[in-house]
Amino acid sequence: METWTVTEARRQLPSLLDKAQQGRWQLIGRRNRRETILADADEVSALLGRCYRFHPEVVMSKTDVGLWLPELDTHAVGATLDEALQELADVMLEYAEDWEDHLRHAANHRDHVGYVRRIELAGDTDGVLAMLNLDADAEGDAVAQAEADAELEAEADAEPEAEAEGAEHA
């Protein structure tokens, strides 16, 4: 990672942007202090996505669909699941704005920074919905992998028992 003073970075900004987009992060600071990282937004979004996944919980009733988002302690309601998801995306964007404006220093919101940055990088309602779909797919992959691992483990446990039974009958 290259380190730049603010003055040098200002002069070299187009070049630094190219480097960042190629995955080569750039460190920029004043008076030999490291203050800012210039990095590719998609790469940062992917990194945050591994650590700060959203897990919306669905609550169905006869009249509507509710979505609870425990990571941000917020919710949305719609007549259908699609409407509730659309509303949740809008609520998440509003939360990110509120977090930047005044919630960032509150003790019960301070640690939401990773989630907020993901929302901001998603950009708009469609981006947030795409992000939620990615999280659901990743969660599904993790669940599928866990189930496959458990099945392999069960088969491995069953093999010694089968061999022991075979030895008893021999």
Q: In what order do the strands lie in the sheet with 74-78?
A: 57-60, 65-69, 74-78
Q: Is residue 91 a contact partner of residue 75, using CB atoms and an 8 Å limit?
A: yes
pLDDT tops 70 at residue 169 = no
| Nearest CA among 121, 118, 122, 102 for reference residue 110 | 102
Question: Is the fold of 1-39 the same as that of 42-170?
Answer: no
Q: Where are the domains of the chain?
A: 1-39, 42-170
Looking at the chain, the whole-number percentage of residues with pLDDT higher than 90 is 66
What confidence category does residue 141 fall into, taking pLDDT thresholds of 50, 70 and 90? low
Q: Is 12 left (phi over 0), alpha (psi -120 to 50) or beta?
A: alpha
Q: Are 119 and 128 in contact (CB under 8 A)?
A: yes
Q: Which CATH number fits domain 42-170: 3.30.365.10, 3.30.160.620, 3.30.9.30, 3.40.50.1220?
A: 3.30.160.620
Q: What CA–CA distance (Å, rounded) separates 39 from 42?
A: 9
Contact 92, 119 (CB under 8 A): yes
Tell me which CATH code domain 1-39 carries.
3.40.1620.10
- Give the DSSP H or E segment for 97: helix 81-98
At 149 the pLDDT is 64
Residues 67-124 have pLDDT tens digits of 999 999 999 999 999 999 999 999 999 999 999 999 999 999 999 999 999 999 999 9
Q: What count of residues does the chain have?
A: 170
pLDDT greater than 60 at residue 3: yes
- What pLDDT does 91 receive? 97
Name the strand (E) or helix (H) holding 26. strand 26-29
Report the pLDDT value the prediction gives residue 136, as an integer from 0 to 100.
85
Residue 160: the pLDDT is 65
